[in-house]
């Protein structure tokens, strides 16, 4: 049977997980899910080279859920990831998958939240914890969490954790968790420090290398809009009206630009909120909750939260500013076309940004169409 023909039914999943997938409208496993789920369900450790946007969260979450011992009251699945936003997103996705499994408790442990609040969550005995490494180790040292009995440790976006200086913390977590645990390591790249972890702790692990395939890519129509800087806000309004877009994200490169563009859009009568790195975690959570509940139409944001926005009904992404990092382009546009829906991505390119956009096109191998500005 070829990978393209594999269905979730072929993966021998429980009725509860199958019901959740059906409710979410997830019809076919992505390549990384087809490859990783059977290996993890066979209790093998897995090293997966897989870029973002390929369905990694379900690939490691489904096997954890399938093998939870609901009679036990200790942490069984521990997922480490680089950012608060990603931790909250993963926890939300696992809760969605566990909707029909009675008694599952998933807890996100992140910096920027009250230690007392998190201690209270841990007193409720979660079986699955999603955490950023620093805060997790803080709680371990205070004896507020016990990770000495876990079955599975997931290292998600391992290369990003390395870039953020978490490599020593990761090794400490590996050292204080059971020697016979299952480890699932997911990373878009495999720098030497990540390979060191593999050699040191993951001898005999199965390896999979998942290049994104066309059928794994979300259905996003990508456009380049060649336009002077001063006309970009006007173009957002015109495209939203012309394409009948109701819910969108506008990405900017700086906090100052985010505030300016949000203000300009509000002056034009649109309902907006903004998110950037200087906004506290509590406010971020409130803004995202309002956005999910359709309390406003446009979120103006920096790349700080590009990975952590997991909202199913975003119709379009606007790159008001072309991103400074090539891979940020993929993180940004991946906020639309979630859960099997289609979406649109518009990148506004002024004369001085053309070279940057050309580099992104080469790096990502995307093939955006030129949007006809004559009709705006």
pLDDT digits (tens, 9 = 90+) for 312-341: 789 999 999 999 887 788 878 888 877 667
Residue 332, CB half-sphere, CA atoms under 13 Å: how many?
A: 33
Dig out the tokens for 205 from the structure: 């692990």
Confidence of residue 2 (pLDDT cuts 50, 70, 90): very low
Could you report the per-residue pLDDT of 126-144, keeping only the tens digit for each? 999 999 999 999 999 999 9
Q: Residue 328's pLDDT is what?
A: 80
Q: What pLDDT shows up at residue 334?
A: 82
Say if pTM beats, i.e. exceeds, 0.85. Answer: no
**Is beta strand 248-251 parallel, antiparallel or unpaired with respect to 316-319?**
parallel
pLDDT on residue 1: 45
| Per-residue CA distances from 132 to 81, 93, 323, 348 (Å) | 5, 16, 25, 34
The pLDDT tens digits for 70-101 are: 999 899 999 999 988 889 889 988 999 999 99
Residue 347 has pLDDT above 90, yes or no: yes
**pLDDT mean over 198-225:** 82
- Take residue 176 and report the two structure tokens written for it: 């204080």
| Contact criterion met (CB below 8 Å) for 61 and 36 | no
Residue 317 bridge partners (DSSP): 249, 345
- How remote is the C-alpha of 18 from its chain's centroid? 22
| Beta bridge mates, 221 | 344
Q: Write down the pLDDT at residue 360.
A: 87
Average pLDDT over residues 190-194: 91
Lowest mean pLDDT across 147-156, 282-291, 308-317: 308-317
pLDDT digits (tens, 9 = 90+) for 3-52: 556 889 999 999 999 999 988 778 889 889 999 999 999 999 999 998 77
> What pairing do the DSSP bridges indicate for beta strands 342-349 and 298-301?
unpaired
């Amino acid at each position: 049977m070829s990978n393209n023909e594999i269905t979730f039914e072929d993966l021998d999943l429980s009725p509860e997980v199958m019901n959740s997938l059906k409710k979410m409208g997830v019809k076919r496993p992505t390549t990384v899910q087809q490859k990783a789920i059977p290996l993890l369900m066979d209790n093998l450790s897995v090293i997966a080279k897989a870029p973002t946007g390929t369905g990694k969260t379900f690939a490691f979450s489904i096997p954890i859920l399938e093998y939870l011992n609901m009679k036990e009251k200790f942490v069984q699945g521990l997922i480490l990831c680089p950012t608060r936003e990603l931790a909250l997103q993963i926890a939300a996705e696992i809760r969605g998958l566990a909707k029909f499994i009675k008694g599952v408790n998933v807890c996100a442990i992140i910096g920027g939240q009250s230690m007392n609040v998190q201690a209270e969550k841990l007193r409720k005995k979660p079986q699955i914890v999603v955490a950023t490494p620093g805060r997790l180790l803080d709680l371990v040292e205070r004896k507020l969490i016990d990770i000495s009995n876990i079955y599975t440790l997931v290292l998600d976006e391992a290369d990003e954790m390395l870039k953020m200086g978490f490599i020593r913390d990761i090794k400490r977590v590996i050292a204080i968790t059971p020697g016979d645990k299952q480890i699932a390591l997911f990373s878009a790249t495999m720098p030497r420090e990540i390979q060191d972890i593999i050699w040191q702790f993951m001898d005999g692990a199965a390896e999979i290398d998942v290049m994104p395939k066309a059928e794994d890519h979300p259905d996003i129509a990508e456009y380049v809009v060649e336009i002077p800087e001063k006309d970009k806000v006007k173009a957002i309004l015109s495209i939203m009206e012309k394409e009948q877009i109701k819910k969108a994200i506008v990405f900017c490169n700086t906090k100052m630009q985010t505030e300016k563009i949000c203000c300009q859009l509000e002056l034009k009568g649109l309902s907006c909120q903004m998110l950037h790195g200087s906004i506290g975690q509590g406010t971020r959570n409130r803004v995202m909750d309002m956005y999910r509940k359709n309390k406003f139409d446009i979120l103006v944001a920096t790349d700080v939260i590009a990975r952590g926005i997991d909202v199913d009904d975003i119709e379009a992404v606007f790159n008001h500013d072309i991103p400074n990092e090539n891979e940020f382009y993929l993180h940004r546009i991946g906020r639309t076309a979630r859960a099997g829906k289609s979406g649109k991505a518009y990148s506004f390119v002024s004369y001085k940004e053309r070279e940057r956009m050309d580099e992104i096109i080469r790096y990502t191998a995307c093939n955006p169409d030129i949007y006809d500005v004559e009709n705006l």
